[in-house]
Structure 1
Amino acid sequence: MFFGLTIEKVLVIAVIAAFLIGPERLPKYAQFLAQFTKRARDFLRDAKTRMKDEMGPEFDEADWRRLDPRQYDPRRIIREALLDDPPVATVRAAGVAAAVTTAAAAPVRYDAASGEPPPFDSEAT
């Protein structure tokens, strides 16, 4: 659940709250909670509808699961980074590496028309 709360913890909190509120005020608070939940659900539904209207058909076609932060797996990212091709090295006749091509030595230019996003540098921000 949210914020590390499990069903058991929520039930314990609800029982303690019921004892603290008391039987005479409990129906009023339960009604308030139901109204708040209904208003929140309506607000979220209206916000989603407005967002679809403003963003157009691209909103439905977006791959929202790919953007979900719960899909972030640092082990997978490191594994993919390690399996990338190593930098190309030019070797002299004697067998000593003369130069290693790196991103700093040869900057890569990205064309906006290709649709490929430029790489993200987490250290630059």
Structure 2
Amino acid sequence: MELFGINGSELLILGLIAVVVLGPEKLPEYAQKLAQLIKSIRGYAAGAKERLREEVGDEVADMDWRKLDPRQYDPRKIIRDALLDDEAPASGPASPSASGGSAALAAAAPAAALSALPTVATQTQLAEGELAPFDSEAT
């Protein structure tokens, strides 16, 4: 059993040090204060849980909190699932055709979006020895 990363032998050593430092007269008093502190912390936690249940409802008791753990999500898997999703994009009034289905629409959407972009003008070649244009305000 580990409590705050302390194993049994370390806990025993800490107890012996407490007996030596506090002395046998004050040790029961401090042990009682520690027990009261732990009880009050448990009471605060139970009260907060009950208040949350009252405000949010009984669905909190049924909620699987492990699903909300951010450590279980792999960004690569999320992106892969989003890219390989067979559903049509939510934006756009287009409906899937009977022959192509939503997969064909999803595949055609990026091509249609790219064709709507303005084309880049072709760059002219500089003559040999000619300096490239320089904009002093841009730097």
| Counterpart residue identity of residue 54, structure 1 | E
| Equivalent residue, structure 2, for 1:97 | none
| Equivalent residue, structure 2, for 1:66 | 67
Question: Structure 2: which 5+ runs fail to align?
Answer: 85-109, 115-139
What is the distance in 2 between the residues matched to 1:57 and 1:30?
38
| Equivalent residue, structure 1, for 2:7 | 7
C-alpha deviation, 1:22, in angstroms? 0.9
Q: 1:16 to 1:77 in 2, by over 3 A?
A: same
Structure with greater proportional strand content: 1
SS of aligned partner of 1:24: helix
| Equivalent residue, structure 2, for 1:39 | 40
Structure 1 stretches of at least 4 aligned residues deviating more than 6 Å after TM superposition = none
- Structure whose CA Rg is larger: 2
What is the distance in 2 between the residues matched to 1:24 and 1:67?
49
| Counterpart residue identity of residue 23, structure 1 | P
Q: 1:51 to 1:78 in 2, by over 3 A?
A: closer
| Equivalent residue, structure 1, for 2:53 | 52
What is the distance in 2 between the residues matched to 1:79 and 1:38?
44
C-alpha deviation, 1:78, in angstroms? 5.3
The structure showing larger relative contact order (alpha-carbon pairs under 8 Å, at least 6 residues apart) is: 2
Q: 1:24 to 1:49 in 2, by over 3 A?
A: same
Question: What pairs with 1:1-125 in structure 2 (closer than 5 Å)?
Answer: 1=2, 5-8=5-8, 9-68=10-69, 72=71, 77=74, 80=77, 84=81, 85=83, 101=110
Q: What's the Cα RMSD here?
A: 2.8
What is the distance in 1 between the residues matched to 2:52 and 2:22?
39
TM-score, normalising length: structure 1: 0.51
Question: Structure 1: which 5+ runs fail to align?
Answer: 87-100, 106-125
**Sequence identity, in percent?**
37
| Counterpart residue identity of residue 36, structure 2 | Q
What is the distance in 2 between the residues matched to 1:47 and 1:81?
34
What is the distance in 1 between the residues matched to 2:57 and 2:78?
36
SS of aligned partner of 2:16: helix
What is the distance in 1 between the residues matched to 2:79 and 2:3?
34
SS of aligned partner of 2:48: helix
